[in-house]
Amino acid sequence: MSTKDWHPYTKYIIVLVILGAAAFLFLGAGAGTDYWVTITHPNMTGEYLESNLGLWRECYHLESLPELANLRTSRCKNYDFGNLPEKHSAGYNYKITMYALRLSTLVLVVSGLLLVFFGEILALCTLGRRKKSWFITAGTFNLLGGFFTLVGVCVYITMITHQHKWWPISELGAPPDTVTKFGWSFALIWVGLTFAVIDGGTYIWLSRLYVEDML
């Protein structure tokens, strides 16, 4: 088969490189912003925003949380992953479970982001290298990046949807009267991991069509 016959696949590779870059940008934007979840609670006039959560921190809207007035100079508070809940404290099992789920989400999503980044670097190399192994490796990195991110997202969903179900009423009293909704940062993560999986799967598929004069 001649180089001319395979020329269209070069165009596909360029599209895949762009798709991989988009996957990385969406994942990076989702991981770096603070609207994975928004928390609202009812008042006399309806619902209003109380706080929004990201992977790294929680941002409070102090007009709705007067008890947090000391945070007026810094509206957002970073999660302290180095500070474990104290043993034998009230609600310890609940707190350590939430801590473990949040930390697992962070590790998985960041790992997925890094894998997609390295996959994109390898994808750029496929534009100038005529080795089948580059296609397979680039596809594998993107697929693994999408998989790690997906697992992290599933862990996060479990944490958010079960935080009220697992709340230890006997130790911490009644759970907060709040309504939790997933936000646009969370949506960006879903778009990014979808792009990564499509990108990686297509690279693997292209590797099956590979011949030495493909480029």
Where does the pLDDT of residue 4 fall: very low under 50, low under 70, confident under 90, or very high at 90 and above?
very low
Q: Helix (H) and strand (E) counts for the chain?
A: 5, 5
Amino acid 7: pLDDT: 47
pLDDT at 73 over 60: no
Q: Is the pLDDT of residue 32 over 80?
A: yes
- Answer whether 74's CB lies under 8 Å from 59's CB: no
Query: Taking each helix axis from N to C terminus, what angle separates 92-126 and 184-208, rounded to the nearest 10 degrees?
Result: 40
pLDDT > 80? residue 101: yes
Q: Report the C-alpha gap between 208 and 205 in whole angstroms.
A: 5
Ordered DSSP codes for 48-62: EEEEEE-SSEEEE-T
Does 97 or 176 have the greater pLDDT score?
97
Residues 6+ apart with CB under 8 A from 19: 195, 198, 199
pLDDT greater at residue 166 or residue 149: 149
pLDDT of residue 46: 53
CB-CB contact of 163 with 94 (8 Å): no
| Across 61-65, 90-94, 126-130, 164-168, least confident range | 61-65
pLDDT at 132: 77
- Residue that wins the pLDDT comparison between 128 and 213: 128
Read off the pLDDT of each residue in 67-85 and give the average, rounded to a whole number.
68
Does an H or E element contain 182, and which?
strand 179-182
pTM of the model: 0.82
Strand (E) or helix (H) holding 102? helix 92-126
What is the per-residue pLDDT across 110-125, written as a single tens digit (0 to 9) for each? Answer: 999 999 999 999 888 8
Q: What is the mean pLDDT of residues 72-88?
A: 76
